Chains A and B, each alone.
Chain A
């Protein structure tokens, strides 16, 4: 067990009673799981509003298909790969918990019913995959997205979740631990994941496993996919900003489950994570708007939405290890940094359509590294002081190793998967389908009925390309 965890355990107040504590934790975590699930439909609207009208359904479907695919795989083998006892490598679990057939609904680990943890972690897997879809808007074959989804969560997400979230302890201790972990980690018997158990990097709710992971994958995937027709020449503005704002609200709301739920305990640390999440997102919203006003002359609605999400991303790894003041600093800075970072795609020429790289990769890296500066023992006794609180650079080094390891692994593996799909089933729709709209070509639907003339005219229906005439008798 890493030294900082021992420090943490010593700080935890007397249990209020094992049974009561277990039920309280479980209630909070089940509620948090539902909150985190809500983030994925929220993301669907956030992304769906940002695309052009002709491809919004495809965007929404990539998020919803993630719910469908990942949930099933999670029960079959995903949970097992991520959280089954790992006796040696620290790289992945095993298949001993496949189909969850060795799980009992009465099983309790660390004052938490196991099934609540299984549900909670499932929602993380869903949203991480869905986040990637923003980079491929308007042009990726839906069949290729499905194939990519299955392969990517299997070889990238499930192992990386193990690295970051599977906290190993000696088997004899596994059922007796009390107190909050420094991350969304379950105490699994064995060595656990290498980042959380051996390296000792701090990632409270998934800055590495979720945001850096999805951002690096989005970059690799959009590089292989190529730019959209018109990229760099047309602005390709969002078609529905109110939809973006609804999505932002749902993401923000759900993020309290994501971050405060990651305590895995219904306690004061969850409250701290909650407050930090709120103020970081708020500060980032202001920071992004400030950059926009100075650079472009306007406060945009999309900037407010992007800033809030950037703040939520940035505080994700740090929400349990910084003070609320630190969260304001972190949030304000990450909002400004990401507002500048989204310009990279135009300078470097990769078509990260909805800024997955600029917000999730950059924001995830920023938040993960910021812990090396802003972490403080005074907040929650987690046992690490960053550079700004009199600590040395060792924690920053661990943070960097964790961040760049996840980024490198995700980028390389995603590149290989994308190239393999490109040269087998093909990744991209035809140019004509892309111009007409991927909703029509891939899903045989359109989001909006655009019969421009008086309704009921067959001519108008023919022009709109929808409500086709029935053929035959």
Chain B
């Protein structure tokens, strides 16, 4: 099993969710986060003074998937989230040892 994590532009979340649900992903977790990549944020003008905004608002999406689906899910997220402009974010996957469904006690792939 793998955990797919994506940091995305907030306004693309709905497109990504729709694409993942069409693929058949059962569940996902979303959180509001802040961060920056190679551009190190941006500058903004407030009351005539310029400030650097290092951490830009993003959403973080986490999906647990079977190993066989991992590459497809990454591709779906990357495609749905892409605008081509800077700040589109990243998608990555990490191995997961164990998953337990709390209600039933099912383990592993059964719990996804």
Contacts and interface: CB of A to CB of B under 8 A. Distances in A.
A424 to B, nearest CB: 35
Interface string A291-310: 01001110000100000000
Contacts of B52: 233
B45 interface: yes
A16 B23 CA distance: 87
B22 to A, nearest CB: 30
B48 A235 contact: no
A295 B46 contact: no
Interface string B28-51: 000000000000000011111101
Nearest to B48: A343
Contact size class for A?
10 to 19
A447 B105 CA distance: 43
A234 B48 contact: no
A346 interface: yes
A296 B45 CA distance: 6
Interface residues of B, number: 9
A459 interface: no
Nearest to B46: A235
A342 interface: yes
Nearest to A306: B47
Contact of B51 (A233, A292, A297, A302): A233
Nearest to B45: A296
B51 A342 contact: no
A340 B48 contact: yes
Interface in A190-249: 232-235, 237
A339 B47 CA distance: 8
Interface string B61-74: 00000000000000
Contact of B49 (A297, A302, A339, A346): A346
A292 B49 CA distance: 11
Nearest to A298: B45
Interface string A275-304: 000000000000000001001110000100
Nearest to A339: B48
Contact of A343 (B47, B51, B53): B47
Contacts of B44: 235
A297 B45 contact: yes
A342 B45 CA distance: 14
B4 to A, nearest CB: 25
Interface in A295-346: 295-297, 302, 339-340, 342-343, 346
Contacts of A297: 45
A234 B51 contact: yes
A292 B48 CA distance: 8
A295 B49 CA distance: 10
A295 B48 contact: yes
Nearest to B49: A346
A339 B48 CA distance: 9
Contacts of B47: 296, 302, 342-343
B64 to A, nearest CB: 22
A1 B67 CA distance: 95
Contacts of A346: 48-49
Nearest to B52: A233
A292 B47 CA distance: 8
Nearest to B47: A342
A287 to B, nearest CB: 14
> Which of A237, A296, A342 has the most chain B CB atoms closer than 10 A to its own CB?
A296
A235 B50 CA distance: 8
A297 B52 CA distance: 17
Nearest to A347: B49
Contacts of B48: 292, 295-296, 339-340, 342-343, 346
A233 B52 CA distance: 7
A342 B48 CA distance: 8
Given A292-B48, A346-B49, 6 more contacts: A235-B44, A235-B46, A237-B46, A297-B45, A342-B47, A343-B47
25 contacts: A232-B49, A233-B52, A234-B51, A235-B44, A235-B46, A235-B49, A235-B51, A235-B53, A237-B46, A295-B45, A295-B48, A296-B45, A296-B46, A296-B47, A296-B48, A297-B45, A302-B47, A339-B48, A340-B48, A342-B47, A342-B48, A343-B48, A343-B49, A346-B48, A346-B49
- Which 8 A-B pairs rank lowest in CB-CB distance, beginning with the nearest? A235-B46, A343-B48, A235-B51, A346-B49, A296-B45, A295-B48, A342-B47, A296-B48
